[in-house]
């Protein structure tokens, strides 16, 4: 797999007839029509392969931002992303003789108001023997990313899927930037630098399943309309992909809030099950929490928790047990 560039490579000349799709999705929030799953697959495949011109790309991204993604569009887009991953060998080989299915933790939001404890969740799961892949962005202006916290802890990034498999085998934890995990999706994420707003790919990367075996995906939402969309979509996921745990994000991150714990729903084989009810009252914060949002302070506090000097926040400890139970359930007997 070639090393991706940090620069956005424009597609100045279209080799894909995108206009007919823009005509459907570009009529505004009330007048736009959603694409079929097949059309969404074709369109997103072309976008990933840089076959859409710059002008058409901007129109597509903004139209989808205004309209919002339908279930068929999310399904088609993700099928295209997974097909590209298979074609480009951007899949991670299955682990053998492990009593847990792999756990995917996407991290694309970071922290602005409270410390980002996604790294703590990953380390606690890995310590119990579950293979955990954390993927996300390395930097995000104004936010503290999980990958920055891992860097402060001296945990290096895996630069390709083979290296990720080795890390999972050796220490049960692998950390990858989306630039290495899926360079083509990274290019589309980077369009935010030009347009100033997020696009559909920010939703899709949080739903990636990059293992060659069933896995447990942790997913989160911020806006209520995404909760409705994800609830419908996750019921359609094929059982061979594994299961998904869905919760309201902690500033967008898939880690339990240390104050008021979120509801956690499990989606598997077309059904959903509530594994944890949302707290009706605020749970007391731990006696010791990171005294600053910065990555260095957060990493230092996580080290103390892992060393047993500070108690694991109760809601995160409960989330760990839920993840482990579902992960075990996905392993064939």
- CATH number for the domain that contains residue 52: 1.20.970.10
| Pick from 110, 100, 111, 109: nearest CA to 133 | 100
Is position 40 within any domain? yes
- 292 and 254 in a common domain: yes
- 141 and 283 in a common domain: yes
- 108 and 46 in a common domain: no
Is position 96 within any domain? no
- 226 and 323 in a common domain: yes
Q: What dihedral angle (degrees, nearest 10) is formed by the CA atoms of 113, 135, 70, 255?
A: -40
Is position 283 within any domain? yes
Helix crossing, 37-48 with 54-67: angle to 10°? 140
- 293 and 213 in a common domain: yes
The number of domains in the chain is 2
Measured between alpha carbons, how far is residue 232 from residues 76, 111, 278, 330 in Å? 14, 28, 20, 21
Is position 95 within any domain? no
Where is the domain boundary, 57, 87, 117? Answer: 87
- 282 and 169 in a common domain: yes
| Pick from 269, 263, 254: nearest CA to 329 | 269
- 30 and 139 in a common domain: no
Is position 207 within any domain? yes
- 241 and 114 in a common domain: yes
Domain residues for 41?
Answer: 19-87
Is position 222 within any domain? yes
C-beta of residue 218 within 8 angstroms of C-beta of residue 264? no
- 164 and 47 in a common domain: no
C-beta of residue 217 within 8 angstroms of C-beta of residue 243? yes
Where is the domain boundary, 87, 111, 137? Answer: 87
Is position 69 within any domain? yes
* Largest distance between two CA atoms of the chain: 60
- 304 and 166 in a common domain: yes
| Cα 144 versus chain centre, distance | 16
Is position 247 within any domain? yes
- 191 and 324 in a common domain: yes
Where is the domain boundary, 87, 115, 147? Answer: 87
In angstroms, the CA 44 to CA 67 distance is: 16
Q: List the chain pLDDT tens, one digit each, 333 residues.
A: 444 444 544 454 557 989 999 999 998 878 889 999 999 999 999 999 999 999 999 999 999 999 989 999 999 999 999 998 888 778 999 898 899 999 999 999 998 888 999 999 999 999 999 999 999 999 988 899 999 999 999 999 999 999 999 999 999 999 999 999 999 999 999 998 889 888 999 999 999 999 999 999 999 998 888 899 999 999 999 999 999 999 999 999 999 998 888 999 999 999 999 999 988 766 655 556 787 899 999 999 999 999 999 999 999 999 999 999 999 999 987
3-state SS record for the chain: CCCCCCCCCCCCCCCCCCHHHHHHHCCHHHHCCCCCHHHHHHHHHHHHCCCCCHHHHHHHHHHHHHHCCCHHHHHHHHHHHHHHHHHCCCCECCCCCCCCCCEEEEECCCECCCCCCHHHHHHHHHHCCCCEEEEECCCCCCCECHHHHHHHCCCCCCCCHHHHHHHHHHHCEEEEEHHHHCHHHHHHHCCHHHHCCCCHHHHHHHHCCCECCCEEEEEEECCHHHHHHHHHHHCCCCHHHEEEEEEECECCECCCCCCCCCCEEEEECCEEEEEECCCCCCCCCCCCCCCCCCHHHHHHHHHHHHCCCCCCCHHHHHHHHHHHHHHHHCCCC
- 254 and 180 in a common domain: yes
Residue 203, domain CATH: 3.40.1030.10
In angstroms, the CA 157 to CA 155 distance is: 7
């Amino acid at each position: 797999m070639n090393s991706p560039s940090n620069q956005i490579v424009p597609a100045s000349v279209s080799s894909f007839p995108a206009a007919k799709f823009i005509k459907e999705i570009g009529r505004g929030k009330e007048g736009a029509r959603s694409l079929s799953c097949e059309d969404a697959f074709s369109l997103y495949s072309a976008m990933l392969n840089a076959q859409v011109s710059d002008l058409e790309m901007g129109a597509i991204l903004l139209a989808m931002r205004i309209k919002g993604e339908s279930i068929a569009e999310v399904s088609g887009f993700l099928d295209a992303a997974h097909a590209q991953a298979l074609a480009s060998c951007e899949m991670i080989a299955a682990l053998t003789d492990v009593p847990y299915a792999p756990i995917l933790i996407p991290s694309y939001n970071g922290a602005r108001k409270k410390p980002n404890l996604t790294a703590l969740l990953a380390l606690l799961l890995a310590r119990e023997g579950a293979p955990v892949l954390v993927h996300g962005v390395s930097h995000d202006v104004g936010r503290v990313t999980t990958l920055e916290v891992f860097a402060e802890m001296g945990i290096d990034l895996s630069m390709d899927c083979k290296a990720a498999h080795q890390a999972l085998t050796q220490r049960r934890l692998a950390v990858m930037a989306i630039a290495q995990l899926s360079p083509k999706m990274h290019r589309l994420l980077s369009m935010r630098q030009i347009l100033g707003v997020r696009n559909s790919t920010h939703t899709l990367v949080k739903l990636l399943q990059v293992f060659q075996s069933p896995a447990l995906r942790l997913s989160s939402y911020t806006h209520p309309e995404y909760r409705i969309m994800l609830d419908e979509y996750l019921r359609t996921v094929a059982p061979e992909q594994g299961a998904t745990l869905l919760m309201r994000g902690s500033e967008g991150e898939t880690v339990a809030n240390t104050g008021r714990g979120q509801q956690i729903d499990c989606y598997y084989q077309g059904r959903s099950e509530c594994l944890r009810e949302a707290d009706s009252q605020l749970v007391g914060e731990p006696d010791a929490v990171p005294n600053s949002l910065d990555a260095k302070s957060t990493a230092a506090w996580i080290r103390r928790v892992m060393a047993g000097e500070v108690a694991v926040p109760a809601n995160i400890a409960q989330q760990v047990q839920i993840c482990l139970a579902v992960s075990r359930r996905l392993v064939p007997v």
